[in-house]
Amino acid sequence: MTSASSGSLTSVPIRVTVIIPALNEAGSILFCINSARVAGADEVLVVDGGSEDETPDIARAAGVAVHSAPRGRAFQQNLGASLATGDVLFFLHADCQTHPDSITEIRTWIAASAQHVAGGFRQAIENPRRAFRVIEAGNAWRIRRLGW
């Protein structure tokens, strides 16, 4: 982590909280939580928007904190951000999985950078169809060229 006063690198560990807004994601929430853990998350929070399936129960059984918020990703993300204890907030969709190296990459980038605002990752859609490779390539191009 960079010291604000000196600009030098310190040995202070960079804590990463993964915030997962969820709504009726019983089929994918465990994969999402496990991917965050494998990647090295210090804290995983699931913020449920009123699921009518077993999503909250599955998340609790996996040993993560589950909080309830009004339906709507912004409400859920804001609540998760207000409860997070990490230095870095990593928002992960409940139907997605993060790469095992993603949190290490975040920590490395932050430790080497003087200013931090936002970041993103490669997208890999688990479907063999060529159309999804085109979507992945288009999104990667958009992020590199346009920054969003």
Residue type, 31: F
| Angle, helix 102-112 to helix 29-39, in steps of 10 degrees | 40
Considering only residues 139 and 4, tell me which one the structure prediction assigns the higher pLDDT: 139
Same domain for 132 and 108: no
Please count the structural domains in the chain.
Answer: 2
Q: Are residues 128 and 65 in the same domain?
A: no
Whether residue 129 has pLDDT greater than 60: yes
Q: Are 119 and 98 in contact (CB under 8 A)?
A: no
Judge whether residue 123 has pLDDT over 60. Answer: yes
* Average pLDDT, rounded, for the chain: 85
| Strands of the sheet with 16-22, listed across from one edge | 65-68, 43-48, 16-22, 88-91
- What integer pLDDT is reported at residue 6 of this predicted model? 39
Kindly tell me if the per-residue pLDDT of 97 is higher than 50: yes
Q: Is residue 20 within 8 Å of residue 62, measured between CB atoms?
A: no
Q: Range with the lowest mean pLDDT among 7-16, 51-60, 116-125? A: 116-125
Tokens of residue 15, six digits: 């804590």
> What is the mean predicted confidence (pLDDT) over 81-90?
95
- For the chain, give me the number of helices (H) and strands (E)? 5, 4
pLDDT at 17: 98
Q: Mean of the pLDDT values across residues 28-40? A: 97
The model's pTM is 0.78
> Hey, which residues does 63 pair with through a beta bridge?
none
Does the pLDDT of residue 3 top 70, yes or no? Answer: no
Say yes or no: 73 and 88 in one domain. yes
128 is in which domain, residue-wise?
123-148
Q: Is residue 5 part of a domain?
A: no
Work out whether strand 43-48 and strand 65-68 pair parallel, antiparallel, or are unpaired.
Answer: parallel
Whether residue 129 is found in the same domain as residue 56: no
4 pLDDT above the threshold of 50: no
- Is the residue at 7 inside a domain? no
Distance CA 99, CA 92 (A): 11
Backbone angles phi, psi at 48, to 5 degrees: -90, 135
- Judge whether residue 120 has pLDDT over 90: no
One domain for residues 67 and 108:
yes
- Alpha carbons within 13 angstroms on the beta-carbon side of residue 97 total 15
